Amino acid sequence: MTSTDSAVSQAPADRRVSSWWRLLAVALLVLLLIGWAASASMVEQLKAQIVHLQGKLADQPQITQVAVLADGQGLPAMLATFTAKDNKLQLQRLNEVKEGREDSMQVWVLGADGKPRSLGIIESKYKTLQIPVLPVDLQGAVELAISAENKGGVAAGAPPSLPWLFKGWLVQKAI
């Protein structure tokens, strides 16, 4: 072996890390921190959106009772939905039957005993309308019915004077 060979073999290998690798490691670390911060921010934003939407959902009126009133042939004639939060019974006409000039449609609730109690008169000829109803008015009710009465309806406390125009079961909706 020559002296130059032994000097080469005994010289320690250069163990230093290239500055390019250090720069790359620092850049990747910064990129990783930025990604972590962005994802943490997005998670917090999503949590805030969920809380906001849950609040909006809680503020929405919830339908608690539903009835589909059928005509004499068993065809759906009116959809009734009750919203306890707003104390409104919403009626949606499903057919084209409307009151005459000298008639009124009166809404009735029937209890288990079959005795009718008036909820009011349908005052609008529109497809969808609302009448004010308290939850106590529907307590113990099993059916809703509508009768055609003379203009203005029957007197308070009196039963319907004409047969049922539409009738249907009142169903308590699971919330």
pLDDT at 51 (0 to 100)? 93
Q: Report residue 136: phi and psi, to 5°.
A: -65, -25
What H or E segment, with its residue span, contains residue 57?
helix 19-59
What is the rounded CA–CA span in Å between residue 152 and residue 60? 33
Q: Report CA Rg, the chain.
A: 37
Cα 53 from Cα 168, distance rounded (Å): 35
CA distance 45 to 62: 27
Instruction: Please say if the pLDDT value at position 67 is more than 70.
Output: yes
Better pLDDT: 163 or 31: 31
Give the C-alpha separation, 54 to 98, whole Å: 40
pLDDT category of residue 32 using cuts at 50, 70 and 90: very high
Question: Which residue type is seen at 120?
Answer: G
The b-or-e profile of 45-73 (16+ CB within 10 A means b, else e) is eeeeeeeeeeeeeeeeeeebbbbbbbbee
User: In this predicted model, what pLDDT tens digit does every residue of 146-171 receive, in sequence order?
Assistant: 888 877 777 777 778 778 888 899 88
pLDDT digits (tens, 9 = 90+) for 92-113: 888 887 776 777 788 889 888 8
8 Å CB contact between 164 and 114? no
Percentage of residues in the chain with pLDDT exceeding 90? Answer: 19
pLDDT at 130: 87
What pLDDT, on the 0 to 100 scale, is given for residue 111? 86
Beta bridge partners of 91: 80, 129
Whole-number pLDDT of residue 30? 95
User: Whole-model pTM?
Assistant: 0.62
